[in-house]
Amino acid sequence: MKGISQKSYFYRVAEMTPTEFWINTALQEDLEYYLAQGAMGNTSNPTHIPIALSNDKNIWYPVIDGILKSNFELSNDEVASLVLQKITLRSLSMFEPLYKKSKGKYGYVAIQGNPFTNEDLELVIKEAEIFSKLGENVAVKIQSTESGIKAVEYLTSQGINTICTKGFSVAQGIAMAEAYERGLDKTDAAPACYVVNIAGILDDYLNEKIMELGMNIDSRYIRHAGVSMNRKLYKIFKKNNYRARLMFGGSRQPYHFTDLVGGDVAITISPSQAKPLINENPPVVKRIDVETPSNILNMLEEIPDFCKAYYEYELCPSEFKDFGPCVKFQKACEEGYKKTLNEIESRRKIVSL
């Protein structure tokens, strides 16, 4: 894109470290801009789709109307899936040159389906198999839950790229990485797998929790919670030589990116946090191996849910989906999906006139 400096912040991150910058959006303008700024992949979730539908009406309303005019009997859920696939196909085509140039190392695009069915193993697998046919560089999002463990193992064995989303604990990250290992042992294929751990939403949840519990903990300490969890998981991945690639996400502040730079990881960041880094263009500093000061860690350990996130033996797979920040994120995805269904229903009424 004209006027883009090849030495902007994210380009320098790529030159100086193995850290990948992924942009977290479904908006056309954002995708064009951040791809030009050095984005190596694209993630989105059900909260992003209704934003794309309302902001890019000129693109997506005709798509929805066309589907309804041809197949008015389809349910809103079925239409939503077809629209999601169209949105993903657009992103896949934009990132395909990067995927081809890097011989499959970069250029992946995430797709995440109906959040209300993401614990139904049979439906998850069926949906993933459909999504996987959209393009070589598509990666299907699977929940980091007990059913998601089974799904990732199976989908990996079938050569399908996955992104293990809704991860808010070291225990979840380990479980999903080991599921991928088992899947690889059943195939000669080498599908990609990214294991996500989300710092920003964990921080938000812990701030809410200390207020709810009336705990006398300065919220400035919480700023270190998600970052500390991610750094610990990174060490475990290196020690265990897991073949899945670690992905950090859920940025709420630019430090959710800058404090994790330097590792062989992908980091997703929203436009609201990426733009300040582009404007400021700060030095690239490798911080992934920085140790959390013991006094801060000791304070964080007073919060039971931080311990569940930070210590690998505090949660078992049957507890993953009911872990507080997982529930918080699930509700957000469900609300986003409902907005998509509402958009489709509005177009259905117009088309039927």
Sorted by where each begins, the domain ranges of the chain are: 9-351
Predicted confidence (pLDDT) at residue 350 exceeds the cutoff of 60: yes
pLDDT of residue 1: 36
Rounded CA-CA distance 176/174 in Å is 6
Active site residue 186: no
Q: Choosing from 141, 166, 209, 308, which is the catalytic residue?
A: 141
Give the pLDDT band of residue 18 (cuts 50, 70, 90): very high
- Tens-digit pLDDT profile for residues 50-96: 999 999 999 999 999 999 999 999 999 999 999 999 999 999 999 99
The whole model's pTM is what? 0.95
Q: Which of 280, 245, 338 is nearest to 49 (CA)?
A: 338
Which residue is associated with the tokens 């507890």?
319
Sequence-ordered list of residues with C-beta below 8 angstroms from that of 144, at least 6 positions apart, any chain? 164, 165, 166, 167, 172, 173, 175, 176, 195, 196, 320, 326
Q: Is it true that domain 9-351 has CATH number 3.20.20.70?
A: yes
Predicted confidence (pLDDT) at residue 242 exceeds the cutoff of 80: yes
pLDDT, average across residues 97-101: 97
- Number of helical (H) and strand (E) elements in the chain, helices listed first: 16, 8
Predicted confidence (pLDDT) at residue 280 exceeds the cutoff of 60: yes
Give the pLDDT band of residue 266 (cuts 50, 70, 90): very high
